[in-house]
Amino acid sequence: MKKLLILFLILGNFCLAGTISSVNEKGSKLSFLFSGSAKPAYQISYDSYNRLIFLEFPGSNMSTKLNDKNYTSKYVEDFSTVNYDGSVGFFIKLNKNISYSTSFSGNDFILSFNDKSGKKQYTIAIDAGHGGKDSGAVGYKKYYEKTIALSVAKYLRDELQKDFNVVMTRDSDVFVTLGNRPRIANKAKANMFVSVHVNSAIKNTLSGVEVFYFSKKSSPYAERIAAFENSVGDKYGEKTSNIVQIMGELAYKKNQEISIGFARKTSAALAKAMGMRDRGIHGANFAVLRGFNGPGVLVELGFINNNADIKKLTSPTAQKRMAQEIAKMVRENFY
C-alpha cells in the first residue's frame, strides 16, 4: 500500500510537470509551447498599478535558454524569466493601456493582449465629505463643509472625466454612511480614492492645506482630525470600529506607499497654486480610507473658520482651481 501511495505521488507530480520547448511572440499573442501530453499547471497574478504579470508554471522546466529581449513589443514593455525550486516563472510588464486574457491551444498556454488606448483605463472614486443631515464643520454659522466639499468634488469630477472613469460617492446633498463610501468605490473597482473635506479648529488663526493618508499609527493631531471625521459613524448609528478592513497587510503597505507620495505632491501643489500654507501630510485611521481596497487620500482644503481660507473655499473660481490641481496630481500619478 505504501509503495502504491509513493507511485501515485510520483505520477501526480509527473502530470503537473512539463517542459517549455519555446516561447513565441506573434502579433498580439505570446505562446508558451509545451512538450508532453497534458496541459501544464499554472498560476497567474497581476499588479495593476505596476502593470506587471507574474506567470508561474509549477514543476516545469525550460528546454532552452531564452533571450528575454526578444519578447518586448507594442504590448510588452519588459520580459524576464526566473527558474527556481523546479518551477519556471515569467515577469511580464505590459505597456500602458494594455489588457490581457489567457487560454490554451492544445497543451500550449496563450497570453492574448488587447490595446485599450482608445479607452479610459483607470477609475477614480471621488468622495465629497459629509452631506444631508451631516453638515460636517460649520464656519461663522453660515458656511457648511458638506456644501464646499460637494462643489469642489463636482469640479474635480468634470476635470477627471476627460481622462478617467469617475465614480462619486455622492453627487447631491444626501447622507452616505462612512461604510458605504468605500464600498461604492470598491464595487466600481476604482484605482484611487480621493475624499474631499474642509478643516476646522478652535482657533481661527489656523489656516492652510493638508492631506491625510490611511495609517494604523497616527500622531495625536492626526487622531483628533480623524476622530471628528469618523464621528459621523457613531452619531448616526454606524460604529466605525465595526467597518470591515478590506486591505491585507501587504496591500496596506503598498497602498500606503503610493498614497504618501500622492499626498505629499498634492498638498504642495494645492498650497502653491492657492497661495495657502502647506501644512503637510499626516497618516491617520480614517474610516473612509480604511475601507477602500487601494491607494487613497483625504484632502483638507483649508479651514472653514479662518477669514483668509474661507474666501477661497467659497469662491467658485478658487474651487475650480483646487479641483484642477488635484486632477493634475492624479494624472501625474497614473500617466
Report the C-alpha gap between 165 and 163 in whole angstroms: 7
Q: What is the pLDDT of residue 226?
A: 54
Going through 154-311 in order, the beta strands assigned E by DSSP cover 165-168, 192-199, 209-214, 278-284, 296-303
**So what's the pLDDT on residue 234?**
52
pLDDT of residue 225: 56
Q: SS3 sequence, 15-40?
A: HHCEEEEEEEEECCEEEEEEECCCCC
Long-range (24+ apart) CB contacts under 8 A made by 265-269 are: 265/329, 265/332, 265/333, 266/211, 266/297, 266/299, 266/325, 266/326, 266/329, 267/209, 267/210, 267/211, 269/325, 269/328, 269/329
Residues of the chain short of pLDDT 50, as ranges, are 1-16, 233, 240-250
- The answer to whether the beta carbons of residues 27 and 33 sit under 8 Å apart is no
Q: What is the pLDDT of residues 163-173, one digit of tens each?
A: 999 999 999 99
Task: Determine whether 69 is exposed, middle or buried from the number of CB atoms within 10 Å of its CB (0-12, 13-18, 19+).
Answer: exposed
Q: What is the pLDDT of residue 223?
A: 59
> In order of start, what are the domains of the chain with their CATH numbers?
14-115 (2.60.40.3500), 123-334 (3.40.630.40)
